[in-house]
Structure 1
Amino acid sequence: MSDDRKRAYNALLTLLDDDSIQKKQKVDVSSEPTPSTETTHEAVEGYEDVVGEEDNVEEEEIDIQVEDDNEGDKQDPFELHFAHPKDFDEPTKWSSKHVTTLPKLGSRSLIQIPENIDSSNFSEDQDYTQLKEQQVLSKVKHRLHASFKGVNPEYSDLQLQFASPLLKYNDVLITNRDFTNTDEYLNMTVLHMLNHVYKTRDRVLKNNSTKNEVKEDLDEFRDQGFSRPKALVILPTRNTAYDFVSKVHQISGLRQMEQQKRFKEKFKAKSSDFSTKPDDFKDLFAGNTNEAFCLGIKFTRQAIKLYTSFYASDLIIASPLGLRLVMEGNKDGNSDFLSSIEMCIVDRMDAIAMQSWTNIKFIFERLNIIPRNMNDCDFSRVREWYLDNKAKYLRQNILMTQYLTPEMLSLFNKYCLNVSGKFRSRFNMDAVNLKMHIHQKFQRINPTSLKNDSQTRLKFFTNSLLPSLLKQAEPEGILLVAPNYTDFVVLRNYLERNDFSYVSMSEYSTPSQIGRGRTFFANKKAQIMLYSARLHHYRRYGIKGTRTVVFYGLPDNPEFYTEITRFLGRTVIDLQIDPDLLHVHALYSKWDALKLERIVGSKRVGQFIEGVSDTYELY
């Protein structure tokens, strides 16, 4: 790894640690901050346990009476999808149909079904309608009923609609997951995950006992994968992991959880004073915001065991960065412990996208690969579809985000290939509510291809937009918002080469650089402030002195558009000037349709993308 890339990564760690100050480093435009396994993998919380020796894997078998509820029920989704699936070919072509019967998940939702496979073989219920409480409970282990009711006394309509694709073991992509519905989504997700883990372990333990009596290998004993972990949960911060594990503990029905003290010390922290920040910021950045962790969890009949070796765990909870560092940091550099993941949950994908999307792609590329080392594998117990390398077609992926990006959709299309179907929530979008009247000018650029988008955007900005802004009667107070770090570097280099009066603030700027830049801009000592959307994600600053906002590219998060545009409202109040003198300029292309729809609304987006004019104005 180059020195520039190492410095870039360390700069990101500086941003996440207010107590640490480093000098700003210049990063090449072609590079993206990536983790350095040479210096950081051993700092991942849980690393020493993950790579340690396995504990006594089968100790929970002693004196355990295994439940038989749902056992042998041919209509149970677990039986159809995992225990006894019919043989199938690799899905090749997918057909889509609209789902309008689950309005809480979106009136424009889609279900995708592989055309060359009969999906009814994997789920008896092909209707997508709101379930009743009893329908949910009939698919769940009895020992989870009481504990779940204690956590979730009443089912909401959203939960009962979410349960429809969830309990079918469909792949699910939820695009309205925010701080207002955290409990609704996570309670159902944790219940479903625990139900799967419990059914898997109960089947294994029961067959262990029966097999010892029969003394021969039978197909009915094929109940396992190559390795023990069955569920993988990917989360952005240690605090989100703490909250998730707390829900697991509450819903599991198990009173005892080992190593709670260590877990709380490493994952829980007192929140900073965010009284002036938006509610979504307070929710995401509460507590411990460290982004490097991994945690193995094992379930016995008596307790939940934390910090177990991955190979002895039922559940793995990790951040994208932490899991990647673990995989690259172990002596073999392999991902064998991910070979038998049957449920992959990624929550708060929008926050993860602000960290590094390359890490999440790195993980999905390594799920359900036949392991290199199978010395401890009992092949007489491995299910046929594992041996046939078809596990990735049965793995259920549950992806939840506040908003959808092209990168997320690409991940869903490329790595989520569930033969039972793929459900994607879609909503009609309203335009953002600025709560003020401001002149907004949307300028469409028309590159010949996606590859030429950056070049066309820069050319329009440098040749047309920026010169016109500098000819204004009062050209100060231009806030130039870069949607990503690559664009930030391109713009910074251009402004520097041409000796513009500017300051810049990015996620790699030190506190002193940020403070000085804000002061210079507010006092008109710099005409332009170059501002990174990623920095806004982590800090949510208010920028004084803003007279013109230029979105070089639209932000993925529509709240950022609203918050940054409202800087103009503060200028109106502070300087007592006419709002008609203040403007917003936003550049977009047809490849920004998802972002644009969240800002201008579903009714307008078609005209903005395909209309005859290249310029549209809102007030």
Structure 2
Amino acid sequence: MSATKRANKRSPSNIPNAAARKAPTPSTKPLQKPQRSSVDKEQALNKTLIENYFDSHFSNNKNLEGDSSNAQPVKASVEALGTVLVSSSLPLSIPHESELPLQETLDALSVKARVIPLMAKLATAKSDELSIDRKAKKVKKDSNEESSVRLSPIHQSLFPIMNTYADVLLTTQTRENEVEMRQTYCLHTVNHVLKTRDRVLKNTARLNAAALASSSKDTSGEAEGTTEDAEDDDEDAGDVERNGNVIEYRDQGFTRPKVLILIPFKNIAFEVIETIIKLSGASQVENKSRFTSEFTLPPEEDGLDPTKPEDYQHDFRGNIDDCFRIGIKFSRRHMKLFSDFYSADVIVASPLGLRMVVGAEGDKERDFDFLSSIEVVVVDRCDMLLMQNWDHLQHIFQHLNLTPKSAHDCDFARTKSWYLDGRSALLRQSILLSAFPTPEINALMAKSCKNVDGRIKISKAYRGSVGEVVVQVPQMYNRITSPSLRELDDARFKHFVEKVIPTLKRGGLEQKGTIIFIPSYFDYVRVRNHLRDHHADLEVGELCEYTSNSDISRTRSNFFHGKTSILLMTERFHFFRRYKIRGCKHVVFYQLPEYAQFYAELMNGMDVGMESRCSVVYSVYDKFRMERVVGSDRVKKMMDKDTFMFA
């Protein structure tokens, strides 16, 4: 029976238990490319990074029983990134800056040859067009400057880390380096899609040639097939199984999408997709005008208050719609945007936009089968997603790499064994990028990212935003204790009721001009209800993310003119509005903000008087927040003290 007929005849009900099949011999050593002729160049790039991790990581011979949690962590400092902590069973070492040209660096890292000149153009930010020789399928530059182009320190340090296919948690994202970080994961995305697609096309050609040879009773050997789209390089055919004279190539998943990129706003998605288009080398992009109109704003509408802080103007530039999803399909030199998910290679979406498709249990219309074969997931600006709805992101991760409910024209004869075994989540690479670490981000990495090759964490030390406070106001820090994290919210509320509220009514008089900053909306509601029920004599204003524009104006005016003595404010309100609240004489931090710059902004916006002061409530569970506000060195001392004051 020919391979084609055999594949069509096979169905899910006829597939034997993959676990019962004879297990292939585990690979003890990742596949390597031939060593470079120059020892100096090899040492400059780092020998462990020239291994072809794409082949070794996604091999059917992959040992999924390995435990990277027991691996000895390797810690080092990389100037361009920060502190890198590697917890992996792979023979990795920390990448260092190389003096090699871009061409040789990316070639050694197994980047597709046709992508390298495009990355060179992107790295140098040149606007000159590239001419494409379709016959040779190589990209040529009009100038000979390519040989001298080098990757930036961010590219050189971060891409080799991503290219290992281990999980990556990076918490050093800033306005200055985020563009290069996005270029890096876009390069990783395009390289992964092209490698996967070229392998499938080559193997399809081989199967067609083998079927043709079998029909003509030519059993002299396997025919070497070629396709117009597959690149003529030295890549092998992937995982091959032989059953008599029948050859099976296991190179696919249940569905086509392989990369998922989750982004908070359309303005970032526009930059990411534009970068992917440039790196793909596509000569034609379908639905490009629709993409531009939906993901950008007209010039007359794209304007922000110039008095707002620089980080606010940067984050909220352009289109800040947080509900979108778009599929990207690669085919030859053509790319299609807004492709159906089941025919797309890359999906770019916001957590809210994708959640509306995934749905929840009990919904009549929901679909998440297209997430069953995701091999790389990137979450950009996790810190901004915390200001939206973190539950949406967790919900999406819970629906990744599940066995689909329908076949969706899947060729089970070519499906990789670990998909059939329901263990594809162990091979999925998760890349989380954030401006700072939080317990929520760490928990997502620990619970939902189970990469068998371990994880790499990148962090940095903080000087503390308390040094940016210019007003001369005493800042009193009071530590609360709690037997467990579960009881922390009650302990914090009890401290607020017993210790903080009495200070707001000294001598029977209200302490006017007091802002109570509460990061969590749930804590905000709890405090608001308590003040309404038990302290109705206090004039309290409310500002949260759900407050209407008219109520915001009225509340700010009343607070400035003294008609309202106390103002409750959430962190999300300040994140999305960034108003300077006039009339503030005292600040009470129910909990420190996630964004350390908010602390300095509120303090510097005070109308300082003789009795002005700041009060902060913290616990040992607030170490991440404390570190960003008071600094990495000082936080260790403050965790052991009940009170601490900055004057």
| TM-score, normalised via structure 2 length | 0.79
Q: Distance in 1 between matches of 2:202 and 2:31?
A: 11
Question: Which of these residues, 352, 357, 367, is aligned with residue 321 of structure 1?
Answer: 352
Find 2:516's aligned residue among 480, 502, 512. 480
- Of 289, 292, 298, the residue aligned with 2:329 is 298
Greater relative CO (CA pairs within 8 A, separation 6+): 1
Equivalent of residue 529 in structure 1, options 556, 567, 591: 567
CA 305–325 in structure 1, closer or farther in 2 if over 3 Å, else same: same
Tell me, yes or no, if the aligned pair for 2:591 and 2:617 is still in contact at 8 Å.
yes
Distance 1:403 1:446, change over 3 A: same
Q: Aligned pair in 2 of structure 1 residues 94, 559: CA closer, same or farther (>3 Å)?
A: farther
> What's the Cα RMSD here?
2.1
Q: 1:546: how far off? A: 0.5
Question: Aligned to 2:588, what secondary structure does the other structure show?
Answer: strand
CA distance in 2, matches of 1:97, 1:335: 36
1:389 aligns with 2:422: yes
| 1:146 and 2:114 correspond | no
Which residue among 343, 359, 365 is the counterpart of 2:398?
Answer: 365
Picking from 472, 477, 490, the partner of 1:455 is 490
The residue number in structure 1 matching 2:230 is none
Aligned pairs for 1:558-597 (under 5 A) are 558-568=596-606, 571-572=607-608, 577=609, 581-597=611-627
- Tell me the SS of whatever aligns to 1:476: coil
Structure 1 stretches of 4+ with a deviation exceeding 3 A read 70-75, 90-96, 216-220, 329-332
The amino acid of 1:141's aligned partner reads K
Aligned-partner SS, 2:174? coil
Is the aligned partner of 1:511 residue 2:549? yes
- Checking the alignment, whether the CA contact within 8 Å between 1:101 and 1:130 is kept in structure 2 is no
Distance 1:319 1:94, change over 3 A: farther
Q: What is the rounded CA distance, in whole Å, between the counterparts of 1:159 and 1:302 in structure 2? A: 25
Asked whether the equivalents of residues 418 and 424 of structure 2 are also in contact (C-alpha less than 8 Å), the reply is yes
Residue 478 of structure 2 corresponds to residue 443 of structure 1: yes
Residue of structure 2 equivalent to 1:81: 57
Larger Rg: 2
User: CA–CA distance in 2 between the matches of 1:172 and 1:131?
Assistant: 19
User: What is the DSSP-based 3-state SS (H/G/I as helix, E as strand, rest coil) of the residue aligned with 1:152?
Assistant: helix
SS class of match (2:627): helix
Is 1:130 the counterpart of 2:96? The answer is: yes
Deviations 1:321-367 (A, max 9, x none): 01010112886523110000000000011111111000000000111
Identity among equivalent pairs (%): 34
Structure 2 CA distance, aligned partners of 1:447 and 1:496?
A: 26
Partner of 1:214: 210
Structure 1 residues 461 and 71, CA, compared in 2 at 3 Å: closer, same or farther? closer
The aligned length equals: 530
Q: Secondary structure at the match of 1:441?
A: strand
Q: Which moved more, 1:227-236 or 1:326-335?
A: 326-335
Q: Structure 1 residue 104: deviation in Å? A: 2.8
Aligned with residue 170 of structure 1, among 160, 166, 172: 166
- Paired AA for residue 337 in structure 2: L
Q: Which residue of 2 aligns with 1:601?
A: 631
Q: Tell me the equivalent position of 1:244.
A: 272
| CA distance in 1 between partners of 2:474 and 2:496 (Å) | 19
Aligned equivalents of 1:224 and 1:465: distance in 2? 61
For residues 546 and 484 of structure 1, the distance between their equivalents in structure 2, rounded to whole angstroms, comes to 21
Contact 1:128 1:164 in 2 (8 A): no
In the aligned structure 1, how far is the partner of 2:309 from the partner of 2:591?
23
Q: Does 1:201 align with 2:197?
A: yes
Q: 2:468 aligns with which of 423, 434, 443?
A: 434
Code of the aligned partner of 2:85: L
Change over 3 Å in CA distance of 1:230–1:469 after alignment to 2: same
2: CA distance between counterparts of 1:590 and 1:89? 36
Distance 1:383 1:195 in 2: 20
Unaligned runs of 5+ in 2: 1-29, 35-50, 125-149, 215-240
Map of 2:45 onto structure 1:
none
State the AA in 1 paired with 2:56.
L
Tell me the residue number matched to 1:336.
369
The one-character-per-residue Cα deviations of 1:8-56 (angstroms, maximum 9, x if unpaired) are xxxxxxxxxxxxxxxxxxxxxxxxxxxxxxxxxxxxxxxxxxxxxxxxx
Task: Rate the CA distance shift 1:540–1:94 in 2: closer, same or farther, 3 A.
Answer: farther
TM-fit CA distance, 1:163: 2.1
Of the three residues 539, 542, 545, the one matched with 2:583 is 545
Q: 2:388 aligns with which of 355, 374, 388?
A: 355
| CA shift for structure 1 position 236 | 0.4
Residue identity opposite 1:105 in structure 2:
L
- Aligned-residue offset at 1:474: 7.6
Residue type of the alignment partner of 1:295:
I
5+ long unaligned stretches in structure 1: 1-69, 114-118
Go from structure 1 to structure 2 and tell me whether the alpha carbon gap of 1:131 and 1:380 turns closer, same or farther (over 3 Å shift): farther
CA shift, 1:470, in A, is: 2.7
For the pair 1:262 / 2:290, whether they are aligned, the reply is: yes
Are 2:357 and 2:368, in contact at CA under 8 Å, matched by a contact in 1?
A: no
What residue is the counterpart of 2:48 in the other structure? none
Please give the alpha-carbon distance, in whole angstroms, between the structure 1 residues aligned to 2:314 and 2:387: 16
Q: Indicate whether 1:188 and 2:222 are aligned.
A: no
Q: TM-score, normalised by structure 1?
A: 0.82
Alignment of 1:346 with 2:379, yes or no, is yes
Does the 8 Å CA contact 2:261/2:378 hold for their aligned counterparts?
yes
1:373 Cα shift? Answer: 0.7
In 2, Cα distance between equivalents of 1:250 and 1:438: 52
Q: How far apart are 1:438 and its partner, in Å? A: 2.9
C-alpha distance in 2 between matches for 1:278 and 1:72: 49
Residue of structure 2 in register with 1:111 after alignment: 86
For 2:288, the aligned partner's letter is: Q
1:286 and 2:317 matched: yes
- SS of 2:329 mapped into structure 1: strand
Amino acid of the residue matched to residue 586 of structure 1?
A: V
Q: Distance in 2 between matches of 1:385 and 1:144?
A: 29
Structure 2 letter corresponding to 1:111: V
The residue type paired with residue 525 of structure 1 is K
